[in-house]
Structure 1
């Protein structure tokens, strides 16, 4: 059986927004196995300074990530799309084991196969320490907020 993950490219505004929300929802589960299924078995990532290849490496990376980034909560926003590519802005908040909170700001470039699986992901991310009182993301986005943009800072 051939794997697929709709919606499929070429993307329209509606299908690109759906793809971005589906990615946000999956990452907010903090389930590395589930998240990895959206990627090709040989998917190639650049995440900050790390280069990751394949689902097993994705699962290992995400497992490490969510062991140190506690109470992780993510928001993604569509920046642009064309054919089989999508660009997103994102912000996530988490705390470390000492209780220090962070907001991470970033951009991702995604490239998809005709079957709708992501074959390439490039992420650039900056972390900013914040006070717990400055948090704005608390768990998954409510359905009523789907499609809403995120603030610049």
Structure 2
């Protein structure tokens, strides 16, 4: 199944789950950009026990919107649990590569009792 635009409900959902799986993996980086690799390395150094959940919110021919939640223990703040939740919108080029990404999220402190996502 091609994950390139135009999207159907099935391919939009599959694209969202693929993005979720890539972020949760944290074992590989997007090839090509040293700046992205450094950003992610620093992010994951701070964010221990990282968990992410993404769900399809809406889609059109070459756009997908998702709602997300992620949580982690903050290595720079006494290993306190934090959560970010919000919305992303993605625009894709014809070859399936992301052309634009916008994200709006809210960060909150949470107790270990309300973690993890999906429990």
TM-score of the superposition, structure 2-length normalised? 0.88
Q: CA RMSD for the aligned pairs?
A: 1.6
Give the corresponding residue for 1:142. Answer: none
Partners of 2:103 and 2:57 lie apart in 1 by 14
Partners of 1:63 and 1:119 lie apart in 2 by 23
Change (3 A) 1:133 1:72: same
Q: Which runs of 5+ in 2 are unaligned?
A: none
Give the corresponding residue for 1:110. Answer: 90
Question: Alpha-carbon deviation of 1:114?
Answer: 1.1
Give the corresponding residue for 1:23. Answer: 19
1:62 to 37, 40, 60: 40
Question: Quick check: 10-19 or 92-101, which moved more?
Answer: 92-101
Change (3 A) 1:105 1:26: same
Q: Which runs of 5+ in 1 are unaligned?
A: 1-5, 42-54, 139-153
Question: Alpha-carbon deviation of 1:57?
Answer: 2.4
TM-score of the superposition, structure 1-length normalised? 0.70
Give the corresponding residue for 2:6. Answer: 10
After the TM superposition, which segments of 4 or more aligned residues of structure 1 sit over 4 Å from their partners?
A: none
Relative contact order, CA 8 A, sep 6+: which one is greater?
Answer: 1
